[in-house]
Amino acid sequence: NGEDEASTPEASPNPQPNVAFICEYDALPDIGHACGHNLIAEAGVAAALGLKAAMEKAPELNGSLSVIGTPAEEGGGGKVKLVDAGSFDNIDAAIMVHPSSSHIVRPFKLAQNFVTVTYHGKAAHGCRAPWDGINALDAAVHAYTGLSLLRQQMMPTWRVHAVITDGGEEPYIVPEKAVMEAFVRAPTVVELKILKAKAQAIFESAGLATGCEVEVCWASSNAAFYANLISNPTLANLFEGHFSDLGLTDSKSTAFGGSTDMGNVSYVVPALQPMLGIETKAKQHTRPFQEAANTDVAHERTLTAAKAMAMTGLDLLLHPDLLVQAKHELNELVRLNTEG
């Protein structure tokens, strides 16, 4: 995922306020830019060029501009590592756009954590003496079924999805090891903790029911934990106004999908990641979306969105009080998302 290739903002002689545009660069195995990272980077660079031109024509503007290249969004947590490294410490607002099938200024992105569950049983001959074995695959199936049954009591906005990646070697050998991997997602970090506890109980009970030992390994590195996205109200309102003036209309969709490491950025600075419709009905992470992300229409839409980004950045430099307001909103929204 190119995690070592991140570019970070340099210290500025006049760092306040410092507006950052985010340029993701990543791709998916086999299907390349099926999440539109090419357009994300294009929008960030174009927005920066536009705002830079405005700043050069008005040197009295008090502020600076940063362009932050962020690799490894697809599971590598590139932005999380940059946050931990202090790359956003002198940033006052961070803005990017993400291609999609519709325009959504305030998208709903979930907090997520990854877990690997390993069951250890005892091998035995599947025909001669299966009673001598302890079937680790049974434990994994038990856990998978438990997650499926849990969905009846899950909140409509919670998500758990899993696969069994190791279920044994041969059908005539009672599997002594089985491995399941899962993503657990919820709208806030508080709800995610609740859902994780429920999943943990299922994983442990499956081991107990089958006589297997169980190892539950929640991904512990910060990069493996994506916070939910907090769309800053001040930034969203500014962007939406320019977006509309440029002829693009927010769909006001409340649908949610996936998670992003931009969520972690949104917990430390006022941030915004609108979804940009690129004239396709295809969903991300598919070949049709990959094709749509390389059309003339997609590039034209991206440049239009870049103009809205640049004008939003200019608003923040012209009116520093807006950043004060945005930071107050950030503090309150972080409190609400972490305290329940």
| pTM of the predicted protein model | 0.88
- Predicted pLDDT of residue 340: 62
pLDDT in tens, 182-233: 999 999 999 999 999 999 999 999 999 999 999 999 986 666 789 999 999 9
| Measured CA distances, 46 to 119, 122, 160, 258, 326 (Å) | 50, 59, 37, 26, 24
Structure tokens at 180: 């399941």
pLDDT in tens, 24-33: 988 888 998 8
269 against 220, higher pLDDT: 269
Ramachandran bin of 321, using left for φ above 0, alpha for ψ from -120 to 50, beta for the remaining angles: alpha
Which residue type sits at 31? I
Separation of CA 271 from chain center: 13
Structure tokens at 187: 């709208």
Q: What angle do helix axes 296-318 and 320-339 make, rounded to 10 degrees?
A: 110
61 against 239, higher pLDDT: 239
Q: What SS3 class is residue 318?
A: helix
Is residue 66 within 8 A of residue 18, CB to CB? The reply is: yes
Q: What angle do helix axes 320-339 and 233-245 make, rounded to 10 degrees?
A: 120
pLDDT in tens, 297-321: 999 999 999 999 999 999 999 999 9
- Predicted pLDDT of residue 27: 81
Q: How far apart are the first and last CA of the chain?
A: 34
pLDDT in tens, 76-131: 889 999 999 999 999 999 999 999 999 999 999 999 999 999 999 999 999 999 99
